[in-house]
Structures are given as C-alpha cells and as structure tokens.
Structure 1
C-alpha cells in the first residue's frame, strides 16, 4: 500500500483533477528525498547546436515537468557535479543573475533551456531571479547589483553571469565561465540578424560574464538608470576606466558557438535622461553603485528551479544609504538589506 499525506488525501475527497493529484503525489515523493539528487540522467557530454523547445499552450504544472527532467537540481536552482560524485571536477562556480519582471513565458523557456546546458558544462551554479516588485520604471542595473550582493552572501562565487531572461544560447560549447577580462557572451543574436559583434564591439548587455572582484572594482552598476537603456554602456565605461577591456570570441568561433536567440517581446521605452547620465559615468563610478545600494527584500524563496528574490527598489527614496534594521523591528514580511559598504574605486 501507499502512504498518502493528509493534504493529498483531502484533495482526493474534493473535486480535484486527477492530473493535479498525480503531480502533487509525484513531487511529494521527490521532495521528500531532495537531499539525495537523482543523477541517473546527468551527462557532461556537450551537444553543440541546440533547438529551443516551444512552450505548451497549457502551462499548468509546466515547471513541475521541467523539474522532473532535472532531478539533479537542488532547491533554489543549485547544482554541483559533486552532488553526484564527491570526487568530480568542477569547471567553474557560477552565479546566474536574472533581472526580471512580468516575463513568465520567457522565464519558463529559460529554465527549460538552461538547466541542461549548465549541467552539461560541468558547472557548480545557482540561478538567482531578481524580481522587481511594483510598477515603477524597470531598473536592470540595480537589480543585478542586488542579485550580486545577495548571491555573494551565500557563497564566494568564482564567476557572475548577468543574463537577460529573453536570450537563449544556441550552442552549449559557449561556456558559461569567466575569462581574464570581462566578456560578452552574445557574439551574434537574432535581433541583429546574427551579424558578428553587433550592435558595436564594446556592447556589454544581454548576457555577459565578469569576475566578482572585477565587478566590485568598478563598484557595480550605476543605480539610477530607471527605464530602458544605457546601464550596460555605463558599466562598459567603468570597466574601461579601471584599465580592463571587454573580450569577445573571434568571428569564426563566435559565429559557430556564440549565437543567441532573442525571444519576442514588446519594445521598452528608452529613458529620456539616460544619455546625460552616461556622460557622467566616470564621476558617478566612485559614489554610486555597490557602495550605496539600498533596497528591501520583500521575499526570498527557494523554488525548485531557481531562487526567487522579490525586491522593492525604493524608487521614491531620494538618497541611497545603507540600512540595518533589527530583526525585531521587521514587519509585514519586509526585510531591509544590511549592505556593507565596499571600497570605492
């Protein structure tokens, strides 16, 4: 006979769909042994060129299905080859940071597409979804700063991948690792008809890799780019000011393994003041970035395939300062981030 938990028994007595009961029972069984990852289907053999699987029309239980295809992935979207074999070698320890808001279908496609790739690349990795709460203008750079800060609290990651949720790699030989210099991983994208190094050579948006110490040395992103555009160019200027340059695969190899498909989405409206801010990238670098980051964590939840950080960016706060709030004073499930100031460049 099978022991069924009480909540499933109650579901059986209600007008619950059989498919719902099946998935509940399946994941109850999987979660009860989640400390022991199922590594039967884990492979480190790269495939080369890839197709992007389309989503089904009905997305009910879709992430459950993706999770069942990736039983080796631990809660929070974490995997290490050492979970399957303690003596296994790891190519790199990587934090994948996704700035995000209201892109469910893109997220589902990303998780389905990326977990097998990252596993095959023999990475220790974790996916951090940094979800901007509310309706204030989107701020990609600040969300990545927050994701970096929270990720580094958990582990001293060796590499940071800043990844827009709508870009999908088309070849798994494009390794999600860091180089000596920061590097752009999108060599050619569908947005630019797969032409090499478009829109320009120093472009550092979309998907990019940088070492934590390099990101800290430039003080991260400028925090005030609300709305679309220029935050990646600002970061590229900071990188240049610190004597580094942005690398990219050469054209022959890049056009073979560095292509990305950009999923369709509505075009964002450019921020009107972005170019004025960009002109002051050098002076802003020393005073605005990781060292004056202010935000509230509304919730942090370890989902089956990713860590979900829901963030209030404190858009109406005129001056960014560091806050420390005692645990006893935290209310309504809000948590004020205690940010240690890093050294300015």
Structure 2
C-alpha cells in the first residue's frame, strides 16, 4: 500500500468514526431551535419562582431562544416532577426541582415517577440557607423568646410549609422535637401561599428559604429569628444562626437544580449545563443571587448528580428516623 493510499484510508476511517457521532452532534448543534419550557413544580410567587424567573430570563439570552416558566404546583412538588418525567425527551422541557424532590424519594409511599430513573440531573441552580420567620404580631424578638411563647401556648401555634414531606415540613418537625414545642403543621402548595398565610397571621411561623423570604424580612412583614446554616448570611448579617440563637446541631439548606426527562440526548444535557454555567458567570445574575443570600449554580453534571444521590440518602435517613410516610 502506498503512503498516499494509506492516508486516504485513514481519512475514510476518521470520517466513518465521525459519522457514528454525528446524530447527537447534529441535534446538539441544532438545539435549541424553539421555545424551552421550564416546569416549576410550585405555585407562582414562591421560593423556586424567586430564582426561576431571573434565571429563565438570563438563560434565554444565552441560548438565543425564549425559556418560559410553567408553574405546576401540587403534592410537595411531585406533580410537576411527574409531568417532566413523562415529557418527550427532546431537550425542550426541563424541571427546576429542589431538595424537596430528594426528600420525596423516601417520604412518599408512591410516586408517579422515579427521580433516579425517569429524570436526568443537568446542573445546580442555587443553594440558600433556610430561615425561621414568624408573624410579626407574635411578641417574640428572639428564637428563645419564640420557643418560650410556643410552650406557653400549646395547641395555639402552627407552622406553614410548601407541602407534606418537604424539607420545610421536616424542619418544623425537627424543631418541635429539639425544643419540646408542639406547633401544628399546615401544608400549602408552595412558598407563595405559605408566606401569604404567615403575613395574614393564618400561621404562626414558616420555615422558608432565605431567598424567597428576603423581601418580606426587609419590609417587616415577617420577622426572621434564625438562619439554619453554619454561618450567617452575607445578605442578612444581622440574623443569627440557629446555633448562635441557642439551638445547636440544626442546619437546613434549600437547593435548586435542573433535570431533564430520561432519554434526553447527552449532547443536549451537556449544552444546557454549559449555558447555565455561562449564565452564572455574568455579574448581573450573580448580583441577584447575592441579594437573596444564595450561592450560584452551574455545577458540572457529574458533580450535581453525585450531590443529588447524597441528598437522597441524607434526607432518607431523616424521613425513616421520623417515621414519616405520605400516601
């Protein structure tokens, strides 16, 4: 075989190898060619919405196609997750899920989807500490004063959450167990309705993500008593940590992430992760997250997937230890 013929043969083989990869590559290059739907599995105006809307706007700029929000509330976020799990895996439907979905894996007796089989982790979106906020009409200015108030009013205090089996629900149950209080749980269909109930005095307290609670804390419509993180939030340096307020060993963080239906082309998942990472490199989106006391997202897909698996295990233990089961 001549050198010329050998070179030609290698070129043909290289072309054939490239052709094997071509379908996925072509789909990734053509994507996105139309509007992308971002399913937010909670009611409008809640914690996820706080991040979803500026995130979707920035992502639209990065992708060159509109990213629209579709709020599908219900059952602690599992209704919306089921919708995405059953959606066509063409790269045009994504779930903006949260830590609540990691909890639901163990907490719910039956789910209409399998988080680890029917959905594919894409990347992180935000991480923010939870905060205990109370109705400002309650005569308690500190966490210890609030605990004393609850004990002095057994059966008359309650706490709202974004739904049964969510981390906010579990945070309230853990709080009751650690402090000896007996607040009654009142589930809602998202942070928005739960916060509205707090502001109106319908519920005494709410365990909420700092991001969604931020405007109500700043306006004085809700009183923040403690953040459940190891350190104070730079966005709210005056709010003590739970440990500083006298309740050690209690941390609760809310995080949000992006999932795609199982079967979505790996090249599209990779392209979406890259777009999200680029979006968070922009100063304007970073500023919005900082104002909410949140850490930005954009983590590599492999790292986010490992994190989700770890969270499923961590919250699964909390659910089993608390003997919590939701039909």
Provide TM-score, normalisation by structure 2.
Answer: 0.26
* Structure number, greater radius of gyration: 2
Provide TM-score, normalisation by structure 1.
Answer: 0.25
Which structure would you say has the larger RCO, counting Cα contacts within 8 Å and 6 or more residues apart?
A: 2
**Which protein is richer in helix relative to its size?**
2
